[in-house]
Amino acid sequence: MAETMSEEDPTVPIVCTECGTETRVPLPDVEDALSRHNDGKHDGEEIAEVDPVLKDRLADLVAADLGLLEEPSEN
């Protein structure tokens, strides 16, 4: 759990409680992998999801990636 990140694309764990599987996919493929799994295995139900622990971090990553965090938020 304390692995250091390499310079490769960050991978995101996708967990499916119903299948009991955990798959790591590159960040850009997450949406695709999720919909493919849920479409193929669960009739489109959103059962597989990004590891909840990472979800918050992921939101930050994506936001940072999109430049949404460039404004300093001083309150």
Select the residue interacting with Zn ion from 11, 23, 27, 41 (CB under 5 A). 41
Residues within window 45-64 making contact with Zn ion, judged by CB under 5 A = 48
The angle subtended at Cα 34 by Cα 23 and Cα 22, nearest 5°, is: 20
Select the residue interacting with Zn ion from 19, 59, 64, 68 (CB under 5 A). 19
The angle subtended at Cα 50 by Cα 19 and Cα 73, nearest 5°, is: 165
Select the residue interacting with Zn ion from 10, 11, 15, 16 (CB under 5 A). 16
Q: Is 33 in the site for Zn ion (CB under 5 A)?
A: no
Alpha helices in 1-75 (DSSP H): 30-42, 52-65
